[in-house]
Each structure stands twice: as structure tokens, then as C-alpha cells.
Structure 1
Amino acid sequence: MSGNSKHKGSISEIEKRDGRIVDFDQQKITDAIHKALVAVSVGNGKRAEEISNRVVEILEKRFEDNIPSVEDIQDIVIEVLEEEGLEKVAEGYSEYRVKKIEIRDLKEELGIEDEPKLTVNAWEVLKKRYLLRNEKGEIIESPSELFQRVADAVSKVDEDYGMDPDESFREFFEVMSKLEFLPNSPTLFNANAPLGQLSACFVLPVRDSLESIFTAVKNTALIEQTGGGVGFDFSEIRPEGDVVKSTMGVASGPVSFMRVFDTVTDVIKAGGKRRGAMMGVLRADHPDIEKFIEAKSSEEDFLNNFNISVSVTDDFMEAVEKDEKHELINPRTDSVVEEVDARDVWEKITKNAWRTGDPGVIFLDEINRHNPTPEVGEINATNPCGEVPLLPNEACNLGSINVSKMVKKVDGEVEIDWEKLERTVKIAVHFLDNVIDANEYNIPEIEKMVKGNRKVGLGVMGWAELLIRLGIPYDSEKAVSLADEMMEFISKKAREKSVELGRERGSFPNFEKSVWSENYEAMRNATVTSIAPTGSISIIAGCSSSIEPLFSIAFMRNVLEGDKLFEVNPWFERLAKDKGFYSAELMKKIARTGSIQEMEEIPEDVRRIFVTSLDIDPEWHVKMQAVFQKHVDNAVSKTINLPKDASVEDVGDLYKLAWELNCKGITIYRYGSKKEQVLTIGEGEGELEFTSAESEYSGGAMSGICPVCG
């Protein structure tokens, strides 16, 4: 397909949309046609070249004495596709063309230059999920207006503290519109909108009574209705078979009550935007722990709205190491009911995680060693994706900095722009603190706890692209060292801003009961950092999820309306063109597996930088999580993705490594261990020819997308 890359006919120049005259390059037409053909499964390089040649023939006849514009060429492409009987391809090409115009207008509006282009899928996600609609379902705001709406709602809080909100509005709007920082999805959904609930993450108490259980069910419904996700510790519920004195009956146990929460979530589409999400936690010493571990092991659709995690103590982990007994304790009587082999419980955890991805593990002692308000209460549960351990009736506001944009060029070399990063961190902490006051709370107990501790969680996204831009392999000590340096810097600057806000506005009410009162005179927020799975906001920002590696170099995207788009990582595509090894056929070849590691036609140094999640030894995933955790107040949500042939022993080793490296929890996913997953590796033929990803997947857990954290 390289033969027509520089056309030698009468057409030598074209007019760009901005009026510039540039050299005509037929290869660009061929590549665009090829992608359109591939998207509807009728494509090959030869067919694309034939259609491209026909387009050029028509151009030469119609523009013998004139210079054609980009629009002229695209009109003829559609004309030829229709002549060839490829109406579906023509329709897709035409729709794609319109969307690209919309995106170009948006980029101009946001002042985004010299960056990888916003994807069509990002535009679709914004329109489908985030932009406000009227009663007829018609979109009534642009992306720019979305960011204005959010910036306006959040900056107004400054008036309550005697400050002028105009400067904050400009700062908040700038970092969002340039896609340098984005808050969690509920803030984007609901700011200055009817629901008004801006938090992503909640933990609700579940005590050992029907009143408490069904109060939690009701409050879960209210939270999910507004777009939030909820975590629970079910460890206080008496075990199955235990006595119920009030009715002289027999208890059904915590797993049976989890089904009630699951059913309620099934019928409530979170915030009218997406499904709800929950985290169910049970202590390893609960008598029903084996039933809990195996709750999601069948092929039945059971507890599909739950992530589940076993909370383990250091004593339990040491009992596993020493092959000792482990006590199971009835929470109703606080008495030992049985002694079991700790390793037997551990092996059931790792075997079921290997089979289905559940359960994960939460390291309870490590979490509470870093509990900022131990006098207020003990932490026993996390939000749905595990990045925020919370007290009962507590919530947290999250946001993420796109670190791939925190760079500058010095003498032609890319390096981190530490000044820009500091400024963005401090704007983001100010923003997230304001969200606490801008929020509308529909449960009084939550409002009291949230405003008592004022926890926020600032994290990062685009980590994989940052490493690529710096030329650093993800699975390297250099990458781990940079993560250590960068997250320490972010944490330090976030804390500085919280201290500044504490002096100006007052510390969080529980400050004197917190660990911070020993060394600080003021602190606005009990926590300031958290690494969330950024999901949809990564799609909007055009970057990889959170601290995850790339999931694929080239792939087919299943977009929201059921269409398909052929996507190539923009940094790889740019580098391939710069180094002269780009071709549409090569991109198609890469898309079959998503990986380039076995492709000798690609330079070795490029292959070393562009590694995907399944290319990387799983231990590097854990090391990366652990080094970020060193400098994070809350926790790190990261999925340790494993190849299909990983063993149960591999899972156990990784879980132990996470404990040894002081992670607060761990989740693994072995490829293919669930019947449905959001990333499917191509098999080279038929419907499964290409690697495919769902519309809002940007990396991390292949079993599903967190619908609330990002």
C-alpha cells in the first residue's frame, strides 16, 4: 500500500480547512478509507487502494485547473463508496466526518494544540452520558458549556468564605477545558443540575437488624439514583443458621441479604446515566466466610452489581504463612464457633479469584494504620473500586490530573513540568474542597460525617502516556522510581494547599481528633489523595486510565450506539509515521492481538516502550501500585491483569506480595475468567478477528468498568 503514498498526477496540492495550501498525499485518503472498511468488516488494503485510486481519478478530472479542498475530497470519497455499493461504509465515513468537524471545533474552543486528537468515542461519551438534555431528550449544552456549568457551581462556594469566585471560575474552567484535570462523573453529571449530588463514593453501615439492613437498602437506592456507588461491611450480620430470638427462627446470613441490595441496584440505573456499583466486604473470621468467597463462583447472574473483597488482618496473613489455625467468630455473641486452617481459607480466596476475579482482598490493619481519624471510628469497608477506605456514612469526592499533559520540552527533550503540575494540584484541591460545600446531601447522617472530615481524593490518569512521552518502559525500575518521585510531589503540594485552606477557612471539624493535629496547626481535609480507576473521564481526556498501562496498541472500539471504530494509540501512530514504519496494513495486523512485542518489523526500542497490560509481568503491576500507595492518603485502585494461563499459585503469590509491599488491597483479573468482559483479544478471523474494547474502557479491570469513580 505504500506505492501511492505520494501521488505523481496532476493533483499536487490541497486546501486545508484553515485555508493553508499543503502537499497532496494520497496515502491519507487510502488510510481513511481502509479504517472505514475495517470498521464494518469488509476491509482489506487492496480494496482501499482501488477506491482511493478511483477518488484521485475523479479529482483530476474535476480539479484540473483548481486546488481541491479537504471537503471536496471527502465528498468524492463518499460518492465513490456509494457507487461501489458500499452504502454502509459511506454512511459510517460521513458520520465520522461530521464528528471530526465537531471535535475540531471543540479543540479550537478549548485551545488544545499540538496534542493527539480527541477521539470520536470521547465525543460520543460526552453526548451520551454528560451533556444536559431538555425534556424532549435533546442536548442543550456543548462540552464547553458543561465545563462552564461545573466551574460555576463549584466556584460559587468561594463567596461563602468572603472570596471572589471569578478567579476560581477561570482556573477551574481552564484546567477542565484543557483536559488537564477532571472530577469524578457525578460532579460532571449533577453540578448546577436538578440532582445536585456530586460525590462518587460512599460507605453505609449495615448492622445486625432488619431495620439497619433495610435502611441501608433505602439509602443505597437514593445514592445510586444520583450516580454514586456504595460500599458495605457485612461482617456484623449474624451467620446463616444462627438463632433469631424475636421470631424463634433461623438467620439467613449476610450473603442472602446481599442479594437484596443487588436486586435493588438492578432496577436503579445510577443517576439515570449508568448502572450502580457496590463493594461487599466480609471479614475472614466471619463464620460465613466460605459462602461469601464462593458467592460469585457460579455462572449464574448472582451479585453482578457487587465487587466483593475479604478483609484480612496481619494475624490472619501470618497464620497463612505459618500454616496455623484461624478462628471464626460469631459477631452476635463475639464467641469462637470454629477453628479452621488459615491456608484452607486462603486457598479458597485465591482459587475463586483465579476462576472469576472475585474476591479481592482488603488489608484491614494496613488501612487502619493510616486512618486519619482513629478517634472518630475504625474503617472496615471501601467504596466500590477500593480506592477510598471510608467510615460508615462517609463519602468522598474524587478528581484526577492528566499527567500526560504535565510536560514541557527543554532543548528538544520532553520532561515533567513540575511548576505546571504544582499549579494544577493546588487548583484541583481547591476545587474538590469546594465540592463538599456545593454538594446536595439527601441523607443527613452522610452530610454530618462528610463535613466533619472533609475527605477528598486527588489522583492521576494518563500515567502510561507520560511514560511513553518520556521514553520510559512501564515495567522498569526507572518507571517505579519516577512514580515514587511524582506521587510524593503531588501529595506534598496537595497537603500544602489543604493547610492553606485550613488557615483561611478553618480546619475540618474533627481535626483535633486526627493524626494531623500533632504536626500541623491547620488542615482543611482529613485526606487529599486517592488513585481511582478513571474510566469515562480518561476517555474524555483522551488518555489511559489511572496508573494502568496501555491495554492495546490498536483495536476495534464498540461505540455507544452499536457502531465500531478502528482506533490506534495516537502516540504510537505519530511515532510510527515519524520513524517511517507506519502503514494501514501494519495497524490492522497489530489490532489482531493489540500487542507489538512479536513484530520484528517494529524497532526494538519502540516495542520496549509500547507495552500493554498483558505484556507486563504481573509483579510489575503490584510494584507500581505499591509505590503509588506510599504517598497516597486513601488507597490505590488498580487491577493486576493476568494472562489466561496464569495459575492459582500465581494469584496467591501476587496477593501475598501486595501485603508485603504495604498495599491496602488488591484485585486481580485473569483474562477470560468471566463469560463477559470489556476487552477481548482478537483471534485473527471471523467476528473475533480484532481485539475489541467497549466504549468506555480505557484500561484496568477487563471484567467491567467502574461506573461511578470516573
Structure 2
Amino acid sequence: MPNARVVLEKRYLKKEDDGTYETPEAMFYRVASVVAGAEKNYGINEKAIKDLTREFYTAMANLEFMPNSPTLMNAGRDLGQLSACFVLPVEDSMEDIFDALKNAAIIHKSGGGTGFNFSRLRQKNSMVRSTGGVASGPVSFMKVFNAATEAVKQGGTRRGANMGILRVDHPDILEFIRCKEDNKDINNFNISVAVTETFMRAVEANSHYDLIDPHSGKEVGQLPAKDVFAKIVDHAWRNGEPGIIFVDRMNRDNPTPKVGEIEATNPCGEQPLLPNEACNLGSINLKLMITEKDGQPAIDWERLGYITRLATRFLDDVIDVNQYPLPVIEKMVKGNRKIGLGVMGFADLLILLKIPYTSDEGAAYAEKIMEFIRTESRIESQRLAKERSVFPNFKGSMYDGKIKLRNATLTTIAPTGTISMICSASSGVEPLFAVAYTKTVMDGTALIEVNPLFEEYARKYGFYSHELMAKTAERGTVSGLTEVPQWVQDIFVTAQEIKPEWHIKIQAAFQQYTDNAVSKTINFANSATRDDVAEAFRLAFELGCKGITVYRDGSREQQVLSAGTKDCEKSKETTTPPLSSCQEAEEISKKKPQETIVPRPRPPVTVGVTEKIKIGCGNLYVSVNADEKSICEVFTNTGRAGGCSSQSEATSRLISIAMRSGISVDAIIEQIRGIRCPACIRKEGVNVTSCPDAIARVIRKYKDIGANGNTAIIRRNQAEEHVSPGLEKTEKAVIKKAQVAVAIDNACPDCGMPVNHESGCVVCIHCGYSKCG
């Protein structure tokens, strides 16, 4: 699996002093031996530890079980921080706020993600007696946390991810709901509203609900619940933010209520945690839990039970060998010993069983599988409790007097973006993103990647052809293809084709037997209405979900608030009242002097190319995009090595606006080429004099893109040279088309291809990039 190896090298494999990487097998053994070493604490002899190391190694090497990313990255290395999820308290004093900020930076540096509930902070403009001033409010401090996250590179591999939560009864709730209207604001956070049962009942009754001063605990006003709910829905419809967590429901299942109240989750929402608590996660690959019985595919329950029990022991051992970023976190984690065992490859399992994702049978399998996993995990936790004792905070827990367990929680359904790529499995409990797609390999060439199960079925049932594979890659889906039998179309349904209610039904089915929560994105077509989103929120509440995140296709590919009036005129035709921003835009446009040059709008679809250039600070990725008229935009990304990212972005933005204002491309090239930067000039092997010079060279090279609509010139020779063996002319055409990248705001920063929104994260299936928050 070459794609899996690329992901491993980029994110997980240890780099040796000579520049080579450890092998995947060495990585798995490194992790297995470190984790099994925890058994020494319980008097296990060396032979038994070696045997357990072998079992841990085999489960990972066979891709049947995979721990969360920090465990793969850091076990057996100096950092040694193995947990993915943390929640930090944010108390209402300047000292406590900045303590939380400092602790978050430490956690991000170690490879973890953080969740915060800002509801303890007093509302904006309220009096601060100690200083005589006024409070700036939760949203202003979220921006401070966001800026700090931007400055800290997580574990040396990726920027930190955060969850920001505010209770629906906080006086600043309306400002919080709209704080991410612009996708570029607070961009290192996912945000969710902590919704109470009282609020949901008020929505149903169309009544008002109380706003509570967090400092005094007293009511300070009321809002109409239905209107607030509508605002949450509106913003989620526009760009997927905010999500909702049903906080009372999370506390109903809080296993240790005497220790504290759950008020926040990790960045993707699936792990409710107490303040200063962390959790380590792992996932079983359901795709490999299929065997043949009486000539038919069936779930191998015996193997699934064994892997579940082994994974439970593995995750409990991780708690002991983990190097925690803060002493207070170590105390909380070891007090509750929470683990989060989940699954990936659920969509693959249903395909192998020939069961549609959108079926009652599919939902029934979700329940049955998760009930089995929780039962087997509890059996192992009981065994560990007998060997090692119950978790220290057991007395007074929800299990006290009922069942003795080693771990306060056992199951979680987490997103599995990169680890599912390593395992060649579908992500978490999500459906397929695409049946076939194009992926970018390391030299920049785009090649067709077909779901192996689809190709297997196509060959087995006699409808395979090169043309069909190419056509599927172009469309991403097999829906409506007459060459494909209907039953195959039904089981290879993709995320965008599934009605939202089925997404929610699957989430609710898994939630029934999940101790913590389920990370799942509810996908909507671009044509979905606000009423559709509202109905999804209500259904998630009714079916027992602990939270919900939605994403409407294409909703992040454009500015949420349009500056033009054309879209505003369209909005007036809908049943939803037009936004006030439209009226403001109209007033601004009336006041503009007639002689002012106004750039033409950015086209909804562009074509272009991304080129990697070596600069003094590392690599610069320059993308040049055009429509049928001419080049209309340029954007840059400095990659992971750093560089003057803000200056490069500013340069590219100004170039883009100049191009759309009619400034000659040659004139722009003349102005920026040859600009000199000491970092480039002094660096051996660098052939440009600065970032602007690099941009100028790429523009000059591709300035004819768009002329006469001739987009096929982009890397034409490369596409023909790198066609895989056996591809027909139809497939070559698809590859050429894939090389002409569609420029959208949610393009992958590494390879420029579109990213997939799933489980609160963005994931690039083409090169392995992922980001949460």
C-alpha cells in the first residue's frame, strides 16, 4: 500500500540520524514493546511480557487494531505523550485564563488536542470589580487561544486542534454562534453550543428561556428559544459551525459525578471529559473482521472478541506508560482510567456483507457490533480490575455496587482519518467518501484510485472495464451508471448521496452502546435548506445522540457573507429573510465613487496548477488558477518547514486582486521578479531570489492558462508519461482532467486537491493530510 507508506513517513515513522526512516514493522514493534512494558507494574514475568508484545505487534502489523496517532508517533521516543484528547478548565480570572493558555500550548506541543468550555467567563461588558474595568467576554479570549495555537506546532507534525464550547444560557451566546461567520476566523477551533434539555423543551414549546450570569449564577435576561435555535441552524447551514452537544445527556452518563461535571469534549466531540482529564483512543478495523461461513461472508465474532479484549488491555497499559504533559492531568487520568475503544471500516464491512448503509439492516448491524464490543471490553476490564484493582475513583461512581471495572469508560467512536488510510479502511463509522478518485503521488502526478472492493466486485460479477473505472473516478460515484447492477449501486453509496436521516440513524445506533460519544459528520447536499438542518438537529436529539455536526456540500468553498448584491437578490426570493449584511453591501456599493476600479468577482470554478519550488526557508507551493478569460488568482503555501507565510499570502492576495482588476499579467511579473531575499540567496541549491520571484516564475510559466479555454496544456506531457499500465485513452483523459486542479477555498494545503469534511476534521484522501478544528 504505497499510499499508506507515504502517510506513515510523513507523520509516524521515526527519522534516523542518517535521514532514513524506520520501517512500519519497526514502528509497530516500538509501540508494542513500550506499551507491554506496563505489565511489569503488575508482577508479570518477562516471558509473558514478550508474548504480549508479540500479540500487540501482530494486531497492529495485521492492521486489525490501531491506537490513536500520538501513541504511534511518540511511544518509545523522548516525547512519550500518548494521549489524543484533553479538556482544560477555563476559570474566570486573568491568571486562570492564561494558565489554561499555557497548558494548552504544552499539550499541543506534545501532540494532543484540547477542548475548552468558556461558559465560566463573565459576559462581555460586565463589571470587573478588581480592576474597575469591564470584561471582554468569552469570544475575545477564544481569539487569544486561537492565535496561540497558530504559533505552536503540534508534536512537530501538525498544528493544534481545539474545541470551543459555550452554554446556550450564557449571555454572550449570540456572539458565540456567529463568531466563525468567516471561515478564516478562529480557524484552529471547532465550536459547539452546549444545549440543555431545558432549552430544547423551550424550542419545542416556542417559549423563552433564561440567560444566566456565570459570575453570580443569577438570571440576567431571556431569549426566545426558537430564535436562538434558528440562528444556530442558520450558521451551521452556512459553514458547518457551530455544532451542538447535548450537555445534560453527557452528564447523565458521566461515570464519576462526584469527581466533577462534564462540560467540554475533545476537538471532534466524541470524548466528553472532566476538566484536566485526558483519554487515549484506539480503533478496531471491522473490514478485517469478516470470514466465510457456509460459502457466505459473515462476521468473525470470535476474532472480533479477541481483538477487542486485547485492545482493551493495550489501552489500559497506555495509561501507565504515558508521559503526561502536566501533573494535574496525570492525577485525573489515573484516577478514572478512561479509555476509548472504537471502530473503523464499518462501511467496508457492510459492503462485504452486501448490506446497504442506508438500511434498517445496516443500522441493526451497527447496534449489534457495538453492543458486542462493549460487552467484550467490559469483560476484559473486569478481568483487569480483578488483577490490578478498580479505578481509584470507583467509589461513588455509577458502577459502585454493580460491576467492578478497571476503566470508567471503555468505548468511543473517534474519527480515524490517517490511521484508516494506513489500514486501507473506511474512516470510523462514516460511509465511503468516493468509490473512485484521483490521488496525487509524490512527484505531483495524479493517478486513478479505485476502491478495491468495488474493483473486486466488478471483476467477480463481470462488469469491469477500464472505461468504467475511469468514468467512476471522474464522477466519484456509481449511482445512475447503467453498467453497474443496482444492488452494487446500493451498497457503494457515498456520503453525499445518503439522506441526512440515515447518517443520524447510524450515529444513534452506535451511540446506544458507546460509553462516550460518536464522532460523525451529517452530510447535506448543497441544495439543502435551513429547515433540513433544523430537522436533523431535532432528530439527533430524539434518537439519543450526544451531539451533532453537519456539513453542507460546498458551504465552505465561498465567503459566507457575500459582498455583492446579486446573491442577496436571490436570497430575497427564498422563504428565509435576507441577511442584514446584504443590505449593508448594497449601501456600500452605492457609496463607491464611480472611478474606483472594482475587481471582477472570483469565478466559482477555476482551473490551474500547483508547483513546488525550493526557497531559502524550505518549500513554497505556488498555485496559479484561471477561468476561461485569464489568470484570476494566485495563492501560496509554505509547507511544514516554515517561511514567511503571512508575507507570501499577502503578496498572492494582492496579485490576485490586481489580476481581477485588469492589470496586465506581464506588468505584475515585471514588478515582482528579481526581488531579493537573503535566505534564498545564501541557500545552496535555491534557484530563485525570493518568494515573490518564485511566484513570478510560476505565473510566467503558466500565464497562458485559460487563454481560449485551453486548460489541457497543464502538465500535458507529465500526464502522458505517468499513465499507469493498462489505462485506456478514457483514463488518460481523466488523469489530464485531474491534473487541472479545481481551486476552492478548502483545498488541501499539501497537494491542492479537495478535502473531505468528516467527523469534525478535514481529511485529504489524496495525500494523507488531516486537520481537526
TM value normalised by structure 2: 0.73
The aligned runs of 1:1-16 (5 Å cut-off) are none
What do the CA deviations read for 1:131-182 (whole angstroms, capped 9, x no partner)? 001356x233100000000001000111110113112101100100000000
The aligned runs of 1:87-106 (5 Å cut-off) are none
Amino acid in the other structure paired with 2:41:
D
CA 598–388 in structure 1, closer or farther in 2 if over 3 Å, else same: same
Pairing partner for 1:518 from 377, 380, 401: 401
Q: Which residue of 2 aligns with 1:192?
A: 76
CA distance, structure 1, for counterparts of residue 311 and residue 287 of structure 2: 16
Q: Structure 1 residue 156 and structure 2 residue 37: aligned?
A: yes
Q: Structure 1 residue 700 and structure 2 residue 584: aligned?
A: no
CA distance, structure 1, for counterparts of residue 148 and residue 441 of structure 2: 28
8 Å contact 1:232–1:279 — kept in the other structure?
A: yes
SS of match in other structure, 2:437:
strand
CA distance, structure 1, for counterparts of residue 444 and residue 241 of structure 2: 29
CA 657–206 in structure 1, closer or farther in 2 if over 3 Å, else same: same
8 Å contact 2:160–2:188 — kept in the other structure?
A: yes
Q: Which residue of 2 aligns with 1:392?
A: 275
Q: Which residue of 2 aligns with 1:207?
A: 91
CA distance, structure 2, for counterparts of residue 658 and residue 187 of structure 1: 32
Q: Which moved more, 1:405-414 or 1:485-494?
A: 405-414
Q: Structure 1 residue 471 and structure 2 residue 348: aligned?
A: no
Amino acid in the other structure paired with 2:193:
V
Amino acid in the other structure paired with 2:72:
L
Pairing partner for 2:134 from 219, 235, 250: 250
Q: Which residue of 2 aligns with 1:306?
A: 189
8 Å contact 2:35–2:314 — kept in the other structure?
A: yes
SS of match in other structure, 1:408:
strand
Amino acid in the other structure paired with 1:227:
G
Q: Structure 1 residue 230 and structure 2 residue 114: aligned?
A: yes
CA distance, structure 1, for counterparts of residue 49 and residue 178 of structure 2: 52
Amino acid in the other structure paired with 1:194:
D
SS of match in other structure, 1:472:
coil
CA 559–393 in structure 1, closer or farther in 2 if over 3 Å, else same: farther
Pairing partner for 1:360 from 237, 243, 251: 243
Amino acid in the other structure paired with 1:250:
V
SS of match in other structure, 1:518:
coil
Amino acid in the other structure paired with 2:40:
E
In percent, how many aligned pairs have the same letter? 52
CA distance, structure 1, for counterparts of residue 347 and residue 70 of structure 2: 25
Q: CA deviation at 1:371?
A: 0.5
Q: Which residue of 1 aligns with 2:696?
A: none
The aligned runs of 1:236-315 (5 Å cut-off) are 236-299=120-183, 301-315=184-198
8 Å contact 2:341–2:412 — kept in the other structure?
A: yes
Q: CA deviation at 1:563?
A: 4.6
Amino acid in the other structure paired with 1:635:
A
What do the CA deviations read for 1:18-72 (whole angstroms, capped 9, x no partner)? xxxxxxxxxxxxxxxxxxxxxxxxxxxxxxxxxxxxxxxxxxxxxxxxxxxxxxx
Pairing partner for 1:602 from 464, 479, 484: 484
CA 709–344 in structure 1, closer or farther in 2 if over 3 Å, else same: closer
Q: Which residue of 2 aligns with 1:441?
A: 324
What do the CA deviations read for 1:359-416 (whole angstroms, capped 9, x no partner)? 0000011111100001111101000001100000000010000011011112221100
What do the CA deviations read for 1:620-670 (whole angstroms, capped 9, x no partner)? 000000010000000000000111001111111001110111111000000
Q: CA deviation at 1:698?
A: 7.5
SS of match in other structure, 1:211:
helix
SS of match in other structure, 2:535:
helix
Q: Which residue of 2 aligns with 1:46?
A: none
Q: CA deviation at 1:707?
A: 5.3
8 Å contact 2:80–2:322 — kept in the other structure?
A: yes
CA distance, structure 2, for counterparts of residue 518 and residue 702 of structure 1: 37
Q: Structure 1 residue 552 and structure 2 residue 437: aligned?
A: no
Amino acid in the other structure paired with 2:482:
E
CA 540–309 in structure 1, closer or farther in 2 if over 3 Å, else same: same
What do the CA deviations read for 1:208-252 (whole angstroms, capped 9, x no partner)? 011111111111111111110000000000111111112211111
CA distance, structure 1, for counterparts of residue 166 and residue 248 of structure 2: 14
CA distance, structure 1, for counterparts of residue 419 and residue 84 of structure 2: 13
Pairing partner for 1:144 from 3, 6, 25: 25
CA distance, structure 2, for counterparts of residue 524 and residue 603 of structure 1: 49
CA distance, structure 1, for counterparts of residue 17 and residue 229 of structure 2: 53
Pairing partner for 1:649 from 523, 531, 541: 531
What do the CA deviations read for 1:325-362 (whole angstroms, capped 9, x no partner)? 01111101212121110011100000000001000000
Q: CA deviation at 1:441?
A: 1.2
8 Å contact 1:276–1:305 — kept in the other structure?
A: yes
CA 701–399 in structure 1, closer or farther in 2 if over 3 Å, else same: closer
SS of match in other structure, 1:614:
helix
Q: CA deviation at 1:423?
A: 0.1
8 Å contact 1:532–1:637 — kept in the other structure?
A: yes
CA distance, structure 2, for counterparts of residue 702 and residue 451 of structure 1: 28
Q: Which runs of 5+ in 2 are unaligned?
A: 560-603, 608-733, 764-768
8 Å contact 1:184–1:708 — kept in the other structure?
A: no
Pairing partner for 1:590 from 472, 484, 495: 472
The aligned runs of 1:658-677 (5 Å cut-off) are 658-675=540-557
Pairing partner for 2:54 from 143, 153, 170: 170
User: How many residues were matched structurally?
Assistant: 587
Q: Which runs of 5+ in 1 are unaligned?
A: 1-117
CA distance, structure 1, for counterparts of residue 476 and residue 21 of structure 2: 38
8 Å contact 2:170–2:212 — kept in the other structure?
A: yes
Q: Which residue of 2 aligns with 1:99?
A: none
Q: Which residue of 2 aligns with 1:71?
A: none
CA RMSD of aligned residues (A): 2.3
Pairing partner for 1:339 from 215, 222, 225: 222
Q: Which residue of 2 aligns with 1:101?
A: none
CA distance, structure 1, for counterparts of residue 364 and residue 757 of structure 2: 22
Q: CA deviation at 1:518?
A: 2.3
CA 603–564 in structure 1, closer or farther in 2 if over 3 Å, else same: same
8 Å contact 2:439–2:448 — kept in the other structure?
A: yes
CA 343–231 in structure 1, closer or farther in 2 if over 3 Å, else same: same
What do the CA deviations read for 1:100-143 (whole angstroms, capped 9, x no partner)? xxxxxxxxxxxxxxxxxx3x22110001111001356x233100
CA 698–485 in structure 1, closer or farther in 2 if over 3 Å, else same: farther
Amino acid in the other structure paired with 1:596:
V
CA 693–597 in structure 1, closer or farther in 2 if over 3 Å, else same: farther
SS of match in other structure, 2:209:
strand
CA distance, structure 2, for counterparts of residue 702 and residue 245 of structure 1: 39
Q: Structure 1 residue 457 and structure 2 residue 340: aligned?
A: yes
8 Å contact 1:374–1:514 — kept in the other structure?
A: yes
Q: Which residue of 2 aligns with 1:381?
A: 264
CA distance, structure 2, for counterparts of residue 394 and residue 527 of structure 1: 12
8 Å contact 2:519–2:759 — kept in the other structure?
A: no
CA distance, structure 2, for counterparts of residue 368 and residue 189 of structure 1: 32
Q: Which residue of 1 aligns with 2:367?
A: 484
8 Å contact 1:387–1:531 — kept in the other structure?
A: yes
Q: Which moved more, 1:163-172 or 1:178-187?
A: 163-172
Q: Which residue of 2 aligns with 1:109?
A: none
TM value normalised by structure 1: 0.80
SS of match in other structure, 1:544:
coil
CA distance, structure 2, for counterparts of residue 172 and residue 693 of structure 1: 37
CA distance, structure 2, for counterparts of residue 539 and residue 133 of structure 1: 20
SS of match in other structure, 2:400:
helix
Q: Structure 1 residue 124 and structure 2 residue 6: aligned?
A: yes
Amino acid in the other structure paired with 1:700:
E
CA distance, structure 2, for counterparts of residue 570 and residue 189 of structure 1: 28
